[in-house]
Amino acid sequence: MKLEKYMLENTTLNESLMTVDEFVKKLESTIKKIFPKSYVNAYASTNLGSSIMLTFALGKDKTKWTNAIIQNDPLFHSWMIGWNSFTEGHFIKEKIQAEISVGGSLRVNPEEGSRMAYGRAKIGWRKKTASPDKIIIHFENYFKKAKKVLKDSLDKGIIELKNKY
């Protein structure tokens, strides 16, 4: 039996919550208010169960990423949100979970004497389980913190941005 069909037969849609499309649009716009010149891509996926995927990079496109690779961006992040928590465009759970898969820090110059290619300035992501509205607030707070870490790192001279973001 297909997962989507099983979920429909064994769950009830929670139409009091925002739809998945509304959540995705609101999440993207919230992040773009804080980082208007950055790459933000959020979309609903049903490949391995239903989830919302979010990718963020400081640079807007591949012309800003080292060797045109998004993972080389100093602030590259990726999240999976709400695994198996929606079907047919509606959330079926009151609370969803946002979990980071890549990121949680800003890549900076390594400490003097280090043999590492780069260092990290931690931003401090915590896995969150909450209503869709509160998840968006959690992301908003995280990206405000990320912007502060970026500004502090620039002021300390521990990161050099070769491209204008």
Residues 115-149, buried b or exposed e (16+ Cβ, 10 A)?
A: eeeebebebebeebeeebeebbebbeebbeebeeb
Ordered structural domains, the chain, with CATH: 3-154 (3.90.1150)
User: What is the DSSP code (8-state) at residue 72?
Assistant: G
* pLDDT the model gives residue 8: 47
- Residues 153, 159: Cα–Cα separation, whole Å: 6
Give me the percent of the chain exceeding a pLDDT of 70.
87
Give the tens place of pLDDT for each residue, 144-162.
999 999 999 999 888 877 6
Q: Give pTM, 2 decimals.
A: 0.85
- Residues 129, 3: Cα–Cα separation, whole Å: 23
Give the tens place of pLDDT for each residue, 50-84.
999 999 999 999 999 989 999 999 999 999 999 88
Give the tens place of pLDDT for each residue, 96-126.
999 999 999 998 988 888 888 788 899 999 8
Neighbours of 57 (CB within 10 A): 25
